[in-house]
Amino acid sequence: MRSHPFALPSFVALLGFAIAWAGCGNAGGAPRIEAGTPCVRCGMETRDLRWAAARRVDGRVRVYDSIECALKDALPRGTAAGSELYLADFTTAALHRSDSLWVVRADIPSPMGGGYAAFLDRSAAERVALERNGRAGRLADFVAGEAAAMDAPAPGARR
Ligand SMILES: [Zn+2]
């Protein structure tokens, strides 16, 4: 009698899947933000956590009231799209890795006027972009534009 040829491999595959799933999102875990924490960039209190963001730097958490503040703080250090940056999912206000979210820049009342919000659900992000005259994409899609804006010479200046 031979045992079922697929019994062992499928068990190993299932185990591997379980380990991968358990490891996903739990490596370090997303930081938590207490409402009222001042934004390290602009000093305003983080009141509505749906707009908030956080970044791990040297074991500490830098809290932002808005994605636009997070970008302005992270961009000069070249770390805006890395695994250390977390944005709030607008639907639940829970923080997630920035590269797992869909980002919208549109006519929406974000705390510092940058018009940024993030969603886990791509269709939610695209709907907001459509209804509020904006666009949706990954954070990396917006980083180049923000970096260019920060490096831009004054109007009329020539290099
Ligand atoms: Zn801020």
Phi and psi for 137 in degrees, rounded to 5?
-175, -170
* DSSP structural state of residue 147: H
Q: In a 3-state reduction of DSSP, which class is residue 73?
A: helix
| Domain membership flag for residue 69 | yes
| Domain membership flag for residue 121 | yes
Residue 39 makes CB contacts below 8 A (sequence gap 6+) with 45, 46, 63, 64, 65, 66, 69, 111
pTM: 0.75
User: Which pLDDT tens digit goes with each residue over 129-141?
Assistant: 999 999 999 998 8
| Domain membership flag for residue 1 | no
- Residue bearing the bigger pLDDT, 142 or 18: 142
- Residue bearing the bigger pLDDT, 87 or 59: 87
| Domain membership flag for residue 123 | yes
- Residue bearing the bigger pLDDT, 4 or 102: 102
Q: In a 3-state reduction of DSSP, which class is residue 95?
A: strand
Compute, in angstroms, the gap from residue 111 CA to the centroid of ligand 1. Answer: 7
Compute, in angstroms, the gap from residue 93 CA to the centroid of ligand 1. Answer: 16
Domain that holds residue 53: 49-151
Domain count, the chain: 1
| Domain membership flag for residue 81 | yes
| Per-residue pLDDT, 124 | 98
Compute, in angstroms, the gap from residue 49 CA to the centroid of ligand 1. Answer: 12
